[in-house]
Amino acid sequence: MQASRTQLGRQLLAGSMGRVSREPYRCFSCSVRQAQQQAPPPKAPQDAQGTTHFGFQTVAEALKEQRVGAVFSSVASSYDSMNDFMSLGIHRLWKDHFVRNLNPGRNPLTSPSSGDKGWNILDIAGGTGDIAFRMLDHASTINHDAHTKVTVADINPDMLTEGKKRALQTPYARTPRLKFVEANAEKLDMIPDNSIDLYTVAFGIRNFTHKETALKEAFRVLKPGGVFACLEFSKVNNPLFDAVYQRWSFGAIPLIGQLVAGDRDSYQYLVESIARFPSQTEFRDMIQDAGFLVPGKGWEDLTNGIAAIHKGVKPA
């Protein structure tokens, strides 16, 4: 206990010291030098008890949540434009494809009238509402479904504020179809068992401290037959393309972060957390271990594996 507290204290201290000493030198030349000094990804060391990854750093578990929170609080306002810059706009295509493939909404023309109306969707880590609005749009315009509900849950109040602000520009603001909840995906106490049709998490699960716990929790809240769907950065298959992609993500993205959002460290964390995320097969196995059935091989690669869609179905 004593040891872990000193460790925690030291890391807090190191973090704050690092920030203080780096703050005044935010200029273009420094960022280039910093990018060149960027150490290659270290080999993953065996996790010591009670620690986890924060990018390439190893931090105490209690700290990760806090530091992820700090990252997203600092990027919340520029989140959308940054995504566009970093992925060259492709993230919109991924999200559109993700939603179209899930085909949310219950078409009253083709399905029997008995039973419940609409789907109950839970969008985890969806603070800015990107996925939620797309879901509702798809349900309303493609499936003529005016009952499908989306609950947006995010651990970060700043991201939720951003989402609420954006919701005002959609027809769903202040309707029972859209709800914002501040929640940790590992402890969804406010969501009853077997109540959700579709659980989605887009570009969020790599920031979770305990991914297995979150998967277990997803399994709990889903109805039998409900679907867990995850859109997340993954591993590129083609080695040549991978080299280009690694260059881009470690060279350009922190730099763009610095220029556009004025925050290099947060974007450095983003690319490191992407590199740390398990590969497609490993994550598929994690989903299976949580009790889900996986369709086909279990995932679908997007843009050569830069991102991947993983799905799992809770057995009925």
Partner 1 sequence: MAPVRLSNSLLGTFRAASIRPANAWRQKCLYHSYDYTESPPFPPAESAILSSAYNHVPSHGFTIDALKLGTRDAGYLDVSTNLFPRGAFDLVSYHLVTQRLALKDNVQFPGDGEQGKRMGVGAKALAIMAQPTYIPASLVELAKLADEIWFLAGDQSVDSSWYTKRASLSTIYSATEVFMTQDKSANFTETEQFLDSRLEDLMKIGRFMGALGEWGNYTGHSTINVLRSKGMRI
Q: What are the binding residues for S-adenosyl-L-methionine?
A: 128, 154, 184-185
Question: Which residue lies nearer to partner 1 by CB, 43 or 297?
Answer: 297
Judged by the rule CB under 8 A, the positions of this chain that interact with partner 1 are 101-104, 106, 110-112, 119, 197-198, 223-227, 229, 293, 295-296, 300, 311, 313, 315-316
Closest CA relative to residue 221, chosen from 251, 256, 183: 183
Coil/strand/helix, residue 259: helix
Rounded to the nearest whole angstrom, what is the least distance from the CB of residue 250 to partner 1 in the complex?
Answer: 32
The token pair at 77 is 């306002």
Distance CA 55, CA 174 (A): 37
Residue 279: CA atoms inside 13 Å, Cβ hemisphere, count?
A: 5
How many other CB atoms are there within 10 angstroms of residue 26's CB atom?
Answer: 12
Question: Which residue lies nearer to partner 1 by CB, 198 or 214?
Answer: 198
Coil/strand/helix, residue 229: strand
Question: Which residue lies nearer to partner 1 by CB, 130 or 300?
Answer: 300
Question: Which residue lies nearer to partner 1 by CB, 24 or 112?
Answer: 112
Q: Is 73 exposed, middle or buried (0-12, 13-18, 19+ CB in 10 A)?
A: middle
Residue 122 · residue 156 · CB < 8 Å: no
Give, for 180, the enclosing helix (H) or strand (E): strand 178-182
Rounded to the nearest whole angstrom, what is the least distance from the CB of residue 143 to partner 1 in the complex?
Answer: 10
Q: How far is CA 305 from the centre of its chain?
A: 16
How many other CB atoms are there within 10 angstroms of residue 22's CB atom?
Answer: 13
Coil/strand/helix, residue 224: strand
Rounded to the nearest whole angstrom, what is the least distance from the CB of residue 178 to partner 1 in the complex?
Answer: 19
Q: How far is CA 5 from the centre of its chain?
A: 29
DSSP type of residue 297: T
Rounded to the nearest whole angstrom, what is the least distance from the CB of residue 121 to partner 1 in the complex?
Answer: 9
Question: Which residue lies nearer to partner 1 by CB, 181 or 294?
Answer: 294
Rounded to the nearest whole angstrom, what is the least distance from the CB of residue 116 to partner 1 in the complex?
Answer: 10
Binding-site annotation: residue ranges: 128, 154, 184-185
According to DSSP, the β-strands at 222-233 and 196-202 are: parallel
Rounded to the nearest whole angstrom, what is the least distance from the CB of residue 308 to partner 1 in the complex?
Answer: 13
Please report where in the chains the tokens 């530091």 appear, as a residue.
67
The token pair at 177 is 């179809």
Rounded to the nearest whole angstrom, what is the least distance from the CB of residue 293 to partner 1 in the complex?
Answer: 6
Question: Which residue lies nearer to partner 1 by CB, 117 or 187?
Answer: 117
Question: Which residue lies nearer to partner 1 by CB, 201 or 261?
Answer: 201
Please report where in the chains the tokens 């992407």 appear, as a residue.
274
